Structure 1
Amino acid sequence: MTTELSAFQINKENVLQFLNGLLDPNLNKQYESHLDVYCFNQNGFGLTLAQIGIDTSINVDIRQFSFIILKKFVQERWEGKQIPSDAEKAEIRHIISPLLADPSPKIRTAIAMCIGKIGVYDWPAKWPSLLDDLMKCINNPGNMNLFSGAMRCLEILCCDESDHENIAQIMISSFSVLNALLKRIDLEPLVHIKITQVFKKIAIYTTTNMDVNKTLFKTLLPFINEWGDIFALHLEAKIDPKFINEMFTIQANLIETISMLYNDFQSSVSPFIERLFSSVWALFKSSYPYYEQIEIFGEDHTPKTLEEGVFGIDKLVSSLLEFLTLVINKKKYKGIFEPIIRDIIYQVILYMKMPNDWLDLWETDINQFLDQEDDHSYNPRVISVELLTSILASYPAARGAMVELVKFLFVKASEKQNPNWWRYREVCLFILTTYANEFIAIAKKNPQLFDATQLLQNQLPLDFAASDKQEDEEYTGILKGRSLTCAGAYGRIVDSSISVQYLNQAVQVISSSTSPLPLKLAAIKSMGTLIESLPLEMVNTGIPKAIQVTCSFLSQLSEDSLLLVLDALLLFTKIDRDITGSMESVLTPSLTAVWINFANDQLICETINDIFRVMASCPKSYPGILKNLLPTLNIILCAYDKSLYIGIADSTVDLLGIVVSKLDSSIIDEFLLRQLLDPLLNILVSIYNDESSRKLARAALLSVIPFIYKLSTQVLVEYKPVLENKTLPPQSSLADCLFFIFQSYIVQSELISGNAIPILKALISKHTSIINNHLANINNLLIDRLANCKLSTTKEALCVVFARLFLIYKQNALDYLFTVPSPDPEFASALEFILSEWNKSHPDIQTYLDTNISLLALVSLFDYSTDKRFQSIQVHSTPITNEKSSRNINKKLKEKWTKCNLYEKATVNIYESYKLMLLDEKEAEAERKKKESAANGEYDDDLYEEVEVEEEEEEEEEYIPEEQGEGFAPAAEYQHILDSIDFTNNENDDDTDNFEVDTDILEIFDKEDQYYNVKLR
């Protein structure tokens, strides 16, 4: 620039040079950083931008860019700032309005964005003529440039930032004109596109702003009543080849508007919707030939580059499918759809056929192909699946129709009358796989209608018997892959001698050097389901081969394809612990390499961690895992704060915790402690005050827990960690280090302090003798944390720690806490405060172990029922809500509770827990029977019906002692309730015969706790 940025003066020349600087890749960052300081804060900058934008002698790209910066300026400075002044705002409004008719679409769009954004702030108060001026332009569609600019402004005025009263005014002022224009078939399709975009924008605003949507809908309803004939006119219009995409766009906009309004205002818009059913159904059928030619066959001669706001046939088809999904299952419309349900299913299946673009993706970008097939994608095939699922759930005849249509299309494919015959076969295989549960239910009820054995014996083998000429065809691999995944879906209900053939075929595919990668992925996916359905003796030779081959090409994969293969690998490793253990030397190096490359991908890391959990459960995996993985973990942990490893340090710590959690205690020697534990402790001691390292701290706090459980008390006292951080005194023991870590983190924010509680829990559980000298300090820290606790999960964890301390130290702990002042003046002692918080939190305690500890501790309180100190304790019972208080006042007021006697509250808690335990047992038994039936090939007729657990018969209400006089009933009178409950230690309930893997480090050690197997009976 000719002037220094620090002395920047607002004039046209300088602003032009500033814009050029912003556009220069080499100067962009420098100029952008000065935009707020030297431009936005100076009077005249916005006006100068507008003057540059209207100057037709300036390059059109610079003019467009000036309006883009002006829009940013308006968005950031227009409202509530001293700059620009009211006079400058008025001048900007005055000079930019005529530009709506600019011949350049770039300028029209840019200026419309500016006017629309200004209008959001200034209309109607400071720019009352805006809407009238826009309507004059809109009412003159002969000047397409002016019309398009005005419609764009109107669309922007309908944004979420606008007041709902302004939206209502837009409807009142514009919809009569827009309806009249939409009736005129002589106008350019782009006119109708602009109008339908505004309708859609209004529908979006009305349906998303829930607080005002009813008010807005009342304004909209009279215009909706006029839409029936107008919408039908366009939905039934004959497609003009010259404007094919424009007409698809108009129709898609109308369908989407209908869908949004119906979804929120069903009863009010039903007459309007019913008027359009025949038009929609006709459009649904007539659109297929275009969709087939353009999207499925790829014979598209329409323009590939579309104008902004113009869509292709796929958008229209998606809108139609979504609308039908919305209405097809409504009871009031079943009389309309039921007679044509077979035709609807047939049409839906045709729309499911694989688009031509997907074929290209299958060959060139498997990740993108998998993404297209993902349930969360938005495309006609995925939406068709949702529609067909809704149909099958709502119409009894639909299942039979689907089976017959699949058979029909298989025959049609076998005739091979055109080069696209294979698409019929592919969609049949896709449907058989996607709706396997439906077909299995049909096979059970009516074997003559569908026979899975015949499918696997006669139909699927056709895809593996292709001629040499067919092997060269691009679709051959797709069909083979579909057949393999289809076989996997039905392997569980056919004879194992049949399904094992497909397992062998899948192994052959993944072992072949000529198999394309997408086919190998399909084979691996198929193997995952086939192996689960076959006896171990049939698959034990195939699993090692599957693991070996799968690991061999992990390095070739990325994103979705890698995740798919890792999921299959997880299934392979779960089959047999001996086989998995023997494959450790293959698995660990391959998984470690993938983990390092994708350490920032959460889903991939979680799956790799799950595989290592399985491996860690296999005794044969050690010491191989340590030998192959330990050096890598050590390098990263020791350099966790170096730039190379900052992104993967937390993932490394997670993986370390998984590996150590299953490590045999006898293997842990000083070398392992130096290599793994010392770096972990160093991280925790170094970052406890670092807010930016919270994720790493949480992972490290969790990963240190296995060491606490596995090491002896003697090791905790005698072992001296070597730490780079010098916060702790020299020669501090491991126990001292752990207490320092607990004390340092428990006082941090609740987002991290809750992760320190399991460390104390582990120390109390396994090393009680160590904590004796720290009890007073521990109690003080816990009481303070509990008093300032906001998160319910943290509060529950703290209460369970107190419960465990009561069980261990009994009378001594209780006597001590009676002498400690309460942090809450409502209670006389810390003990009373703790008992109150504990009894409030007990019903919300989540884990099985914590519930047991809390229950046992509650029961132990009855040992002191004759102590007058306990008899007089009152705790919180139920919350008191103040309905008259405003929201803001409620936030400031302290929560208020009614009170009751400690033993009354404890009894209720114990009894309610007992009832929940009985219900859980019933649900578990129902789930067990369901799984047993599935394993025997028995399936419910209604696959969508959840298992219901019968409610307990209402028994005679239990006697609860009543208050006597001014106090409460003596604690002894509650004893009959406790006597009805038996506390037993059922050590054999935990089924360890099946190869089940705990998914949580804490869960592993919970099951080893002395209180875990204590159950209420």
Structure 2
Amino acid sequence: MEVPQETLDQLSTWFLQSLSLDASLRRAAESSLLSAATSPGFPLALLKLSSLPSVDLQIRLASALHFKNLLKSRWVPTSDNPLPDSDKTLIKSLLLPLLLQSPPLIQSQLSEALAIASSHDFPSSWPSLLPDIISSLGTSLSSGDYTSVNSLLSAANSLFLKFRHSFDTQALRLDLKYCLDLFAKPLLETFLNTSNLTTPAADPSVLKPLLECQRLCSEIFHSLNSIELPEFFEDHMREWMEKFRFYLTSTFAPQVETDGTADALRASICENLQLYMEKNEEEFKDYLEGFATAVWGLLMNAAKSPSRDQLAVTAIKFLTTVSTSVHHALFGSPEVLGQICNSVVFPNLRLRDDDEELFENNYVEYIRRDSEGSDTDTLRRTACELLKGLAVNYREQVMGLVSAQVQSMLAAFNANPAQNWKEKDAAIYLVVALSPKPGATTGYLVDVESFFTSVILPELQGQDPNAVPILKAGALKFFTVFREQIPKPAALSLLPGVIRFLGSESNVVHSYAATCIEKILLVKDKGAHARPHCPVWSS
């Protein structure tokens, strides 16, 4: 790739100026880059500049980012100014080798660029890509270069993601067959060979890239199994499952456990277990009990890591699927139900620090998640879904456990309101989250009028509308959700108190107050009478 030195120097100057604090200098550099974008060989010059070790890393990163964005806008032939085929051919021949030679910051941008190009050209217009990845993967594994191994697996992972999300067509299945024929065996070999090196007692600096390799293998496993169970994976299911279980049940060095490396792998494995429960339950059933025990054990371990929340979400989703399947008897004993509820579900209902930060600093996102039901991937919502799943077959037992927990939370709050306000918030959240959907034949978790009078009303009638705003928001949400179970005259009599919250300092509180007022005024008289409380689990 021959690029004149003066071109590289000019690009370096522009990128350096584009990072300047001087707005006029920055705008001039951006304008120059925009004008140069249509010049012949411009994308190749960007790629060359980003690959030069002698150039400042920030300039290389800016060039790689610009290159990625250029591919995003011009790689498709139908774009306004598509790249020439000659440039595309050169880029495809250079991109993978340069990616392997680059430092991590540059590598991530080039990996995304490769994903953009391959999403349009692979495999039909880029048949050499996967064989090149496989060849380089074998070389890197032989030399123990796991930095390159992980870069190659990351590139392969980007190729296969389409099998998760694209509409199932004959063309997609042909692409999948092509990928399976070439990559299924090398993937298993990589996974097994790396497993032999991955011992819990290994040095953390050695272990981290190995676990990252296994996470990427697990991600690729998911993509290649997303449409149906391939014959190769069915034939080698035991090998995969034994290693998956090993990673779920092994404990690694504290440094590895606390930085999230191990939990990220476990979360990916739990997603694969969920996939197999949904699509390949018959073939997977022999492994189910062992995995259910392993996942349950993971959730009982209150470890702290950046990936622990994601692991908990994926693990709880897997248990929820099991709880509603024909294998629900795994959770049927009172002891197991009690342990799952008390050790897995209830602890994850309490407000977390990041929830409080979201409430205070990003009220739009908080309201979107809370009001529009888009919090399905939060620990709170996932824990409630597990309760609902358990209640499908063990309604009375779960009903008793949850009712007792609500009373325990409220008792803790009453004992020390200032210290234990999160207990009350969790109790309100639990009752609201488990309310039956419109038209459901099941009843409510609590006597709505009694709960409203004893728990919600004190928040709505408190003298300070800004005191503990999260509790105020929860109370307003409860009032809104259960408005038709509150006698309309009583609801209307509370409107002046609700109107006070329109002046709350909290954006969430005054937004919820406005919604509450609107919904109450729209309640028809025929819906004013509370439905009789029925001690049946709501779903």
**Smaller-chain TM-score bracket:** 0.7 to 0.9
Distance (Å, rounded) in 1 between the aligned partners of 2:114 and 2:490: 72
Distance (Å, rounded) in 2 between the aligned partners of 1:39 and 1:135: 34
Matched with 1:343 is 339
Distance (Å, rounded) in 1 between the aligned partners of 2:319 and 2:456: 39
Q: Alpha carbons of 1:132 and 1:935: their partners in 2 closer, same or farther (altered >3 Å)? A: closer
**Under a length normalisation based on structure 1, what TM-score does the superposition of the two structures give?**
0.43
Matched with 1:194 is 213
Distance (Å, rounded) in 2 between the aligned partners of 1:576 and 1:405: 34
Matched with 2:134 is 132
Letter in 2 for 1:278: T
Instruction: Specify the SS of the correspondent of 2:461.
Output: helix
Q: Is contact 1:543–1:572 with CA below 8 Å preserved after alignment?
A: no
Instruction: Specify the SS of the correspondent of 1:228.
Output: helix
**2:176 aligned to 150, 164, 178, which one?**
164
Q: Does 2:47 align with 1:50?
A: yes
Matches within 5 A, 1:950-989: none
Matched with 1:181 is 194
Instruction: Specify the SS of the correspondent of 1:188.
Output: helix
Instruction: Indicate the structure (1 or 2) with the bigger Cα radius of gyration.
Output: 1
Q: Alpha carbons of 1:437 and 1:93: their partners in 2 closer, same or farther (altered >3 Å)? A: closer
Q: Is contact 1:321–1:384 with CA below 8 Å preserved after alignment?
A: yes
The percentage of aligned residue pairs carrying the same residue is 13
Instruction: Specify the SS of the correspondent of 1:58.
Output: coil
Q: Is contact 1:322–1:383 with CA below 8 Å preserved after alignment?
A: yes
Distance (Å, rounded) in 2 between the aligned partners of 1:183 and 1:83: 46
Tell me the alpha carbon deviations over residues 765-789 of structure 1, each in whole angstroms, 9 at most, x when there is no partner: xxxxxxxxxxxxxxxxxxxxxxxxx
Matched with 1:267 is 282
Aligned-pair CA distance for 1:273: 3.5
Letter in 2 for 1:64: L
Distance (Å, rounded) in 2 between the aligned partners of 1:571 and 1:322: 33
Q: Is contact 1:182–1:230 with CA below 8 Å preserved after alignment?
A: yes
Letter in 2 for 1:152: S
Matched with 1:257 is 272
Q: Is contact 1:100–1:112 with CA below 8 Å preserved after alignment?
A: no
Aligned-pair CA distance for 1:570: 1.9
Matched with 1:387 is 386
Distance (Å, rounded) in 2 between the aligned partners of 1:572 and 1:165: 57
Q: Choose between structure 1 and 2 for higher RCO, CA contacts under 8 A separated by at least 6 residues.
A: 2
Aligned-pair CA distance for 1:258: 2.0
Q: Does 2:322 align with 1:327?
A: yes
Letter in 2 for 1:97: P
Matches within 5 A, 1:837-856: none
Q: Does 2:200 align with 1:203?
A: no
**1:565 aligned to 513, 517, 522, which one?**
513
Q: Is contact 2:396–2:536 with CA below 8 Å preserved after alignment?
A: no
Distance (Å, rounded) in 1 between the aligned partners of 2:95 and 2:363: 53
Tell me the alpha carbon deviations over residues 583-609 of structure 1, each in whole angstroms, 9 at most, x when there is no partner: xxxxxxxxxxxxxxxxxxxxxxxxxxx
Matched with 1:508 is 461
Matches within 5 A, 1:405-804: 405-406=404-405, 409-410=408-409, 413=412, 426-435=425-434, 490-491=448-449, 494=450, 505-506=458-459, 508-509=461-462, 511-512=463-464, 515-525=467-477, 542-543=493-494, 545-546=496-497, 548-551=499-502, 553=503, 556=505, 558=507, 560-574=508-522
Q: Alpha carbons of 1:141 and 1:264: their partners in 2 closer, same or farther (altered >3 Å)? A: farther
Letter in 1 for 2:353: N
Letter in 2 for 1:344: I
Aligned-pair CA distance for 1:393: 2.1
Aligned-pair CA distance for 1:569: 0.9
Aligned-pair CA distance for 1:320: 0.7
Aligned-pair CA distance for 1:105: 1.6
Q: Is contact 2:313–2:382 with CA below 8 Å preserved after alignment?
A: yes
Q: Is contact 1:53–1:66 with CA below 8 Å preserved after alignment?
A: yes
Distance (Å, rounded) in 2 between the aligned partners of 1:361 and 1:109: 28
Distance (Å, rounded) in 1 between the aligned partners of 2:496 and 2:433: 28
Distance (Å, rounded) in 1 between the aligned partners of 2:413 and 2:495: 37
Instruction: Specify the SS of the correspondent of 1:139.
Output: helix
Distance (Å, rounded) in 2 between the aligned partners of 1:372 and 1:422: 21
Distance (Å, rounded) in 1 between the aligned partners of 2:455 and 2:412: 22
Letter in 2 for 1:135: L
Structure 1: tracts of 5 or more residues without a match: 1-7, 208-212, 295-301, 303-310, 445-449, 453-488, 578-927, 945-1017
Distance (Å, rounded) in 2 between the aligned partners of 1:116 and 1:569: 49
Aligned-pair CA distance for 1:164: 2.3
Distance (Å, rounded) in 2 between the aligned partners of 1:576 and 1:79: 55
Letter in 2 for 1:203: H
Aligned-pair CA distance for 1:537: 6.4
Letter in 2 for 1:390: G
Q: Is contact 1:547–1:572 with CA below 8 Å preserved after alignment?
A: no
Q: Alpha carbons of 1:343 and 1:52: their partners in 2 closer, same or farther (altered >3 Å)? A: same
Instruction: Specify the SS of the correspondent of 1:11.
Output: helix
Distance (Å, rounded) in 2 between the aligned partners of 1:113 and 1:537: 59
Instruction: Specify the SS of the correspondent of 2:53.
Output: coil
Distance (Å, rounded) in 2 between the aligned partners of 1:79 and 1:364: 39
Distance (Å, rounded) in 2 between the aligned partners of 1:119 and 1:442: 50
Matched with 1:150 is 152
Aligned-pair CA distance for 1:79: 6.8
Q: Is contact 2:276–2:284 with CA below 8 Å preserved after alignment?
A: yes
Distance (Å, rounded) in 2 between the aligned partners of 1:358 and 1:109: 30
**Under a length normalisation based on structure 2, what TM-score does the superposition of the two structures give?**
0.76
Matched with 2:202 is none
Q: Is contact 2:465–2:500 with CA below 8 Å preserved after alignment?
A: no
Matched with 2:313 is 318
Q: Is contact 2:100–2:151 with CA below 8 Å preserved after alignment?
A: yes
Matched with 2:59 is 62
Tell me the alpha carbon deviations over residues 821-875 of structure 1, each in whole angstroms, 9 at most, x when there is no partner: xxxxxxxxxxxxxxxxxxxxxxxxxxxxxxxxxxxxxxxxxxxxxxxxxxxxxxx
Aligned-pair CA distance for 1:490: 1.7
Tell me the alpha carbon deviations over residues 180-213 of structure 1, each in whole angstroms, 9 at most, x when there is no partner: 2134324523322233234324424642xxxxx2
Distance (Å, rounded) in 2 between the aligned partners of 1:10 and 1:141: 38
Matched pairs, number: 500
Letter in 1 for 2:497: A
Distance (Å, rounded) in 1 between the aligned partners of 2:433 and 2:297: 28
Distance (Å, rounded) in 2 between the aligned partners of 1:128 and 1:545: 67
Distance (Å, rounded) in 1 between the aligned partners of 2:322 and 2:286: 13
Aligned-pair CA distance for 1:237: 0.8
Q: Alpha carbons of 1:225 and 1:36: their partners in 2 closer, same or farther (altered >3 Å)? A: farther
Aligned-pair CA distance for 1:356: 3.3
Q: Alpha carbons of 1:130 and 1:361: their partners in 2 closer, same or farther (altered >3 Å)? A: closer
Q: Is contact 1:392–1:399 with CA below 8 Å preserved after alignment?
A: yes
Q: Alpha carbons of 1:122 and 1:27: their partners in 2 closer, same or farther (altered >3 Å)? A: farther
Distance (Å, rounded) in 2 between the aligned partners of 1:341 and 1:513: 40
Letter in 2 for 1:356: D
Q: Kindly report the root-mean-square deviation, in angstroms, between the aligned alpha carbons of the 2 structures.
A: 4.4
Letter in 2 for 1:335: A
Aligned-pair CA distance for 1:19: 3.9
Q: Alpha carbons of 1:46 and 1:382: their partners in 2 closer, same or farther (altered >3 Å)? A: same
Aligned-pair CA distance for 1:392: 1.3
Q: Alpha carbons of 1:201 and 1:11: their partners in 2 closer, same or farther (altered >3 Å)? A: same
Deviates more, 1:246-255 or 1:258-267: 258-267
Structure 2: tracts of 5 or more residues without a match: 164-171, 200-205
Q: Alpha carbons of 1:65 and 1:224: their partners in 2 closer, same or farther (altered >3 Å)? A: farther
Tell me the alpha carbon deviations over residues 278-337 of structure 1, each in whole angstroms, 9 at most, x when there is no partner: 211221222xx22xxx5xxxxxxx6xxxxxxxx421111111111112221102x12222
